[in-house]
Each structure stands twice: as C-alpha cells, then as structure tokens.
A and B are shown apart, each in its own frame.
Chain A
C-alpha cells in the first residue's frame, strides 16, 4: 500500500514537468531568433509507464508508476517574418519566431493540472486509509 505514495508522487512529478514545459513554451511564444535552426520549438513531455518485473508468481509485469521518458520538440513549421530593423534579423532581414501554439498549450496546461489534482486525490485517500489501518484494534 505504501507504494501508492511512490506511484502518486511519480505521477505528480511527471505532471509538474509537463506544466513546466508548458510554462516554458508559453513564455517563449513570442521569442525570435536569427535563424531557423536556433528558433524556439515547442517542447512536449513524453510519458512512459514504469514497469516492474513479474515477481511472486505474478503472471505478467505490472506497472508501478509513470515517468517522463523524454522531451520532444515540435516539428511544426517555424514562422518567418520580415523585420529588417530587428537586431536579431539575418542578412536578408528575416527573423524566425517560435512554433508554439498558444491555444494548444493552454489546453495542455488545463489537462496537466486536472491530472495533477486526480493524483493528489489518490494521495489523500491513501493517507486516510493508512491512518485508519494504524488504528486497527484500538
């Protein structure tokens, strides 16, 4: 039962990382850069479940939590604007913006916060169950 704290804790950490990348994306939504290669690309966390080897005669592997397996960068097109007055502009006078989609990021932020709340709820339920178990027989 105590492993539930690890599971819910890992999930909250993962959702927090997702919120962090969303915050980073939104903060950089209007960043500009001098070339397409250095332009800011929207980042997304990639979740993967943590698997545990089957033990004690269990028939198959069971998952024990979630982790952030990596962070992927969006391959969407980088917008280019003609701003010759911008100090960051390249030789032809173009600056390169970020490919962050603000609407997508806002939806992502709400989804992450809802998932975080769900896991916090699991954490609370587990805590009250364990406290009651400690009082067994009193």
Chain B
C-alpha cells in the first residue's frame, strides 16, 4: 500500500497555505498603512477553504483565493482604509491559527511515524 501524503495531511495542507497567503496580505496592509489611497485587502477564509475543499473533491486545480476589500470603521482623509489596530489583531489571530494548523499537521506525521516504527521514536 502506497502512502499518499496528501491524504494524510488532508485539508490541513490547504489551510496552512491559505493562512500563509493571508499573512502576506495582512503584512502588506500594515506596510501600506501610510500610503494615500491604498485600500486594505483580506481573504474570506471560510469561502476560500470551502473552495479548496470542493476543488480537492472534484480533482480540479486549486485557484488563488479571492481578495476582498476591507470595510473600514473610519476611512482616512487621503482614502486609505488601513486601520492599524484591526490589521494587527487580524495578523495575531492569523498567526495563532497558522500555528494551530502546524500542530495538527505535525500530529498527522507523528501518527504516521508511530504506525511505521511502533514506538513513535
């Protein structure tokens, strides 16, 4: 029986990639916090995850997640919609979820090692 790493990792692999992509988008928002006219972007994680699940089920290639625009609480005079506290909170939240996904993936690999060696060492 061949071991299919994709099957072992399952959706967690997609989740990790989406989290990494979202981290880039949020980092970019923070980088452009003082750029006139810049509009903050974000990924709708739930929608992107659903899309990834459907793509895996149907065997279709994975598409890039759709980037949306953030609805600011208060828009700056120069048209910038980055709110530093919102972006930093989202970044911290995303980082924690990224680490959680890493833990789940690591758990899958430990289980596999346990099955192979019988001791997990």
Contact = CB atoms under 8 A, between A and B. Distances in A.
B6 to A, nearest CB: 15
Given A47-B35, A136-B109, A137-B106, A1 B41 contact: no
Contacts of B106: 136-137
Contacts of B24: 1, 3-4, 7
A72 B63 CA distance: 41
Interface residues of B, number: 31
A57 interface: yes
A60 interface: yes
Interface string B83-112: 010001001100100110010011001000
Interface of B: 20, 23-28, 30-36, 38, 41, 63-64, 66-67, 84, 88, 91-92, 95, 98-99, 102, 105-106, 109
The 4 closest A-B pairs by CB, nearest first: A11-B31, A137-B109, A58-B64, A47-B35
